[in-house]
Amino acid sequence: KKSYPSIRKKLWGGALWSPSYFAGSCGGAPIEIIRQYIEQQQTPH
């Protein structure tokens, strides 16, 4: 925030975004496939 004063004007409550959630559909995929997908997303590349 200190390095970019122009961004500070756009901040809402001191953050670039507010707390939120995501809801999606997996189209009926088997739970094991979904579990594998989620686990792979948590691994840094």
| pLDDT given for residue 12 in this prediction | 63
Q: What is the pLDDT of residues 25-43, one digit of tens each?
A: 888 899 999 999 888 887 6
Q: How large is the average pLDDT for residues 12-24?
A: 73
- CB-side exposure of 43: number of CA atoms within 13 Å? 6
Prediction pTM value: 0.39
pLDDT at 1 over 60: no
Number of domains the chain contains: 1
| pLDDT given for residue 32 in this prediction | 94
Q: Which residues pair with 15 in a beta bridge?
A: 12
Print the domain residue range for 9.
Answer: 5-42
| pLDDT given for residue 44 in this prediction | 67
